[in-house]
A and B are shown apart, each in its own frame.
Chain A
Amino acid sequence: MAYINGIGVISSQDLSRGFPETLQEYRVDFLPCLPPDYKRFINPIAARRMSRLIRMGITSARLALADAGVEMPEAIITGTGLGSVEETEKLLMDMDSGNTLLNPTPFIQSTYNTISSQIAINLKCHHYNSTYVHRSFSFESAFMDALMQIGEGMADNALAGGIDEMTMMHLDIMRKVGHWKQAPASNITLLQDSTPGALAGEGAAFFVLGKEPSASTYCKVEGIDMFHRDSPEGLGEQEIRSFLQSRGYRPDDIDLLVLGYNGDSCFDGIYDRFAGDLFSSATTTWFKHLSGEYYTASAMGLWLGAFMLKNGRIPSAVLLRGDAATPAHRVLVYNQYRGEYHSLFLLSAI
């Protein structure tokens, strides 16, 4: 297995000095990311030509590397559900206006692998480079690939991240098919809002996975798995038990859960059942009031789990059930997207 030795996160909250005392409240259609301070990592001339998503990607990747004290990762792997939505829209709108002499930049930047390859260009990194684009398995696939790179002995340090952006146009389109709430909602009181649809969001979280622990280590990664359903349904008890068992654990060994509650009254019940059935004694936390919902939001959940293990504390702003005072040793992060895409990450304190 591997260790999380560095993390870089961009979200709606300022996490640059640890977990904030009070969370910033938004009453919005979607939770926007705070603009990152990308000037530390990207030269301004290059930055001007980059889409917002690419700047977010490079910045969070560089923050993760700086956090881990690693200069050159031996793999760069990105998961993104939608890539540069804004650039895709620009090209579509340009085409719809009947323009036949298009600007090539949006086309290039709309290509999904642009994030991983721009990170490689920024670092001059010639190693393994890949991009996964499978809805809420995108980050999971990238993370699994990074774990495999380390397991295969191909990399001592691998960079893997999950990143997506939201635009008003995309929000409108997906709201029509019921993915998002019909009216603006508060991120802070999201779970008291019993309406259908999630609070949409966006974000970037990159992780440096290391073969060995280091001074900056957050936690040990014990395992990851993905489960697909053709129609919305929770995970079966046996599936969860066997995921834990194959790593040498039982449900009682889990003392902290990080769950992907997103305020959608149609699907949040899946988390209630998950936490209630097998893990009734575990402390329960959530994270989508920091990030909103998007295809790669589970990366934010993984960040929160790793953060709590490293710092030995549970911020009260993320606590749903149980005791914030007892430090956790073993964290299970569970995320699902509309009951179809489920993922589990198992982390242990070092």
Chain B
Amino acid sequence: MPVRVFVTGLGIISGIGKDLNEHVTSLYHSRPGISDIRFLDTHLKGEIPVSEVKCSDEELFGMTGVSSHEAYSRNSLLGIIAAREAWDHAKLGTRKKRRTGLISATTVGGMDQCEKYYQEFLKGDSYNDFIEIYDCADSTEKIARQLGITGFRTTISTACSSAANAILFGARLIRDGYLDRVVAGGTESLTIFHMNGFNALKILDKQPCRPFDANRSGITLGEGAAYIIIESEEAAREDAPEFIAELAGYGNACEAFHQTASSPDGQGAWLAMKKALETAGIEPGQIDYINAHGTGTDNNDLSEGIAIQRLFGEHIPPVSSTKPFTGHTTSAAGSTEAILSILSLKHQMIWPNLNFRDPMPELSFTPVKELITDVPVNYVMSNSFGFGGNDTSLIFKKVKQE
């Protein structure tokens, strides 16, 4: 029997809240985080909506307790806030010390500062503190330092599935006996760099995104960070304050189709979901809710929808994309949505796919339109698919309260 892996702490910050409780409230009241750009200084302000964390950099410095004179990117600050909430939730500060690692996901790294200071890096002769923080590892190192993690750390970047792969790798490190506990998740702040990049690809919706709608017109970007604490059963049984959920299954597959497009038959998505079911040892019929990747692009939603139909056949469970709440937090999306999926298990509710109106003619199912309460949710599947066909699916299981 493989080692069982339990979730014992959650921490999240996104456009719909600064902590876990604010997320539950926003989800329950269907309050999205998408609005006009307020904090990012870009020519796209007023033209393209986003889901920003509703805090200036100064406010984020205040929340972390880090001096604003230090070279911390917005990415690192968001990561520290969410990872610390998860850390405290699992009471790791006061429990028995065990082999603990940090697996963090990001793609923009310190680009928010790099893009501000780039000309200065090139022309200036003087030392600029921000030079050394532009890479992906920087936010991971800053989080490790703030939490006091001295052991294993690494950073994963597989585009929009990055944070799901961080959770997957963390679980494998525990199962393979390298670590007892892992802080796993991702952080991604909005930057001009990737706003412009996605805009150049012409896949940003001018309205809030409408996943799985016939008239969908692209992505709404978001920012945020989300981390979960996962532990071996042995570590959790000894002194964890709460068993929040079990990480039952995971699957990673590659489309190997196109750098930015998904295949028409959703082969990568199908394989990732199928592998996740296999590692969980369950049948498709046991999944009670799919938190879809559902970006709102023509291509993703069709490909993912077809893959879901192929795998679940006549019995498709309730499906929703929560990106109309949080926006697409790219490298942090996998852990953001893992937490929303775990909240679905915990509260026995299914979150609505906001902004949905017209069914896609190609699909046999429509997403969940209204909040569903008092529904048995025992297994939830969380999908995260990235550019380059890096597709990952996670399955969380409700824990019987003992």
Contacts and interface: CB of A to CB of B under 8 A. Distances in A.
Same complex for A and B? Answer: yes
Interface of A: 76, 81-83, 91-92, 95-96, 100-104, 107-108, 110-114, 116-118, 120-121, 123-135, 137-138, 141, 145, 148, 151-152, 169, 172-174, 176-177, 226, 228, 230
Nearest to A102: B200
Given A117-B254, A120-B254, A134-B154, 15 more contacts: A107-B201, A112-B158, A113-B388, A114-B388, A121-B258, A121-B389, A125-B256, A126-B255, A126-B267, A130-B252, A130-B390, A133-B157, A134-B137, A173-B122, A176-B121
A157 to B, nearest CB: 15
B131 A124 contact: no
Contacts of A141: 154
A118 B324 CA distance: 30
B152 A134 contact: no
Contact of B387 (A108, A126, A133): A108
Contacts of A116: 158, 254, 388, 390
Interface stretch (B190-198, B207-215, B307-315, B332-340): B190-198
B259 interface: yes
B193 A120 contact: no
B154 A132 contact: yes
A104 B259 CA distance: 12
Interface in B380-401: 386-390
Nearest to B106: A133
A173 B115 CA distance: 14
A134 B387 contact: no
A250 B268 CA distance: 46
Contacts of A230: 145, 150
A134 B150 contact: no
B135 interface: yes
A124 B119 CA distance: 40
Nearest to A135: B137
Contact of A129 (B252, B257, B260): B252
A117 B136 contact: no
B257 A121 contact: yes
A292 B121 CA distance: 23
B341 interface: no
Contacts of A108: 197, 201, 259-260, 387
The 6 closest A-B pairs by CB, nearest first: A117-B388, A107-B197, A129-B254, A104-B200, A112-B157, A133-B136
Contacts of A104: 197, 200-202
Given A118-B259, A152-B172, A176 B156 contact: no
11 contacts: A91-B197, A107-B194, A107-B197, A116-B254, A126-B256, A128-B252, A134-B137, A137-B153, A176-B124, A176-B128, A176-B131
Given A111-B107, A127-B254, A129-B158, A174 B260 contact: no
A152 B176 contact: yes
A94 B173 CA distance: 41
Nearest to A100: B43
A87 to B, nearest CB: 10
Contacts of A118: 259, 388
Interface of B: 43, 107, 114-115, 118-119, 121-122, 124-125, 127-128, 131-132, 135-137, 140, 145, 150-159, 165, 169, 172-173, 175-176, 192-194, 196-202, 252-260, 267-268, 271, 386-390
B132 A177 contact: yes
A96 B119 contact: yes
Contact of B127 (A113, A148, A177): A177
Contact of A130 (B118, B158, B194): B158
Contacts of A82: 135
B313 to A, nearest CB: 21
B114 to A, nearest CB: 8
A113 B386 contact: yes
Contacts of B387: 108, 111, 113-114, 117
Contacts of B201: 104, 107-108
Contacts of A100: 43, 196
A256 B155 CA distance: 31
Contact of A92 (B118, B135, B159, B386): B118
B137 A177 contact: no
B137 to A, nearest CB: 4
A91 B155 contact: no
Contacts of A138: 154
Contacts of B122: 169, 172-173
Contact of B137 (A102, A133, A169): A133
A112 to B, nearest CB: 4
Quick one: which of B128, B156, B157, B196 has the most chain A CB within 10 A?
A: B157
Contacts of A127: 253-254
B135 A174 contact: no
A114 B259 contact: yes
B140 A134 contact: yes
A102 B200 CA distance: 5
B140 to A, nearest CB: 6
Given A121-B257, A130-B156, A148-B172, A92 B137 contact: no
A202 to B, nearest CB: 16
A176 B127 contact: yes
A63 B192 CA distance: 38
Given A126-B271, A127-B253, A120 B121 contact: no
A93 to B, nearest CB: 8
